Amino acid sequence: MINLSLTVEVARLAADDYVGFSFFVGCMAMMAASAFFFLSLSSFDKKWRTSILVSGIITFIAAVHYWYMRDYWSSFAESPVFFRYVDWVLTVPLMCVEFYLILKVAGAKKSLMWRLIFLSVVMLVTGYFGEAVDRDNAWLWGLVSGIAYFVIVYDIWFGKAKKLALAAGGDVLAAHKTLCWFVLVGWAIYPIGYMAGTPGWYEGIFGGLSLDVVYNIGDAINKIGFGLVVYNLAVLASNKSES
């Protein structure tokens, strides 16, 4: 008789491993948000279902990546830059799509959506090059990434997107303004994290900061918060259409 033994190695989190803990909590929070958004789809009119679906996809993608990043952290005590940027290059453009979806009621065209998607991809790809590929010129890549970010900020706060939101008025305008604040304040942690992790003139200000916990909490707040704003708008619009 042959005895077979199976050894399973399970990565463990130390009690004081706050980074690993934040990865795990972030993953669970985004999984829960995804389930919430997906299960609520049937509660809304067809015109709002795409917005809620996109919100669920954003948090689901993030949950999967956080699961992998949590395991990687447990094994190597490192937070891989590659995983973060793969997550962001998928989810951030989808967050930009949300602006287009809620502004369709005011006549938003797909050109607005593609402009925001393009700018977000430029922001992320150049950020990745500066942080992981060409660190000697990180300041230059960061500058290009920062310009793309501020163009997005300008577009949604003062440009075509803002004009459409004003034309829509009411709940759409309120939701648009809240999403704008998420981009201006919530997304600000990403350029700060970039400067903390790359060499440049800014090293004296941000150099050496460990922002993994901030990234993890910020990601959860930004992505789940985006979805909840859209969800609330869908609820308000649906209630008005029924009354």
User: Does this model's pTM top 0.75?
Assistant: yes
What is the per-residue pLDDT across 2-42, written as a single tens digit (0 to 9) for each? 454 444 444 566 666 778 888 888 999 999 999 999 999 98
Residue 105's closest CA among 50, 154, 157? 50
Rounded alpha-carbon distances, angstroms, from residue 157 to 13, 134, 188, 218: 42, 32, 15, 21
Region for residue 17 given its phi and psi (left: phi exceeds 0; alpha: psi -120 to 50; beta: otherwise):
beta
Characterize 144-167 residue by residue with b for buried, 16 or more Cβ atoms within 10 angstroms of its Cβ, and e for exposed.
bbbebbebbbebbbeebbbebbee
- In this predicted model, what pLDDT tens digit does every residue of 45-54 receive, in sequence order? 888 899 999 9
Confidence of residue 1 (pLDDT cuts 50, 70, 90): very low
Cβ-based neighbours of 119, under 8 Å, separated by 6 or more? 96, 148, 149, 151, 152, 155
Contact 212, 22 (CB under 8 A): yes
Q: Which residue has the tokens 């708008």?
A: 233
Which residue ranges form the domains of the chain, and what is each CATH number?
81-242 (1.20.1070.10)
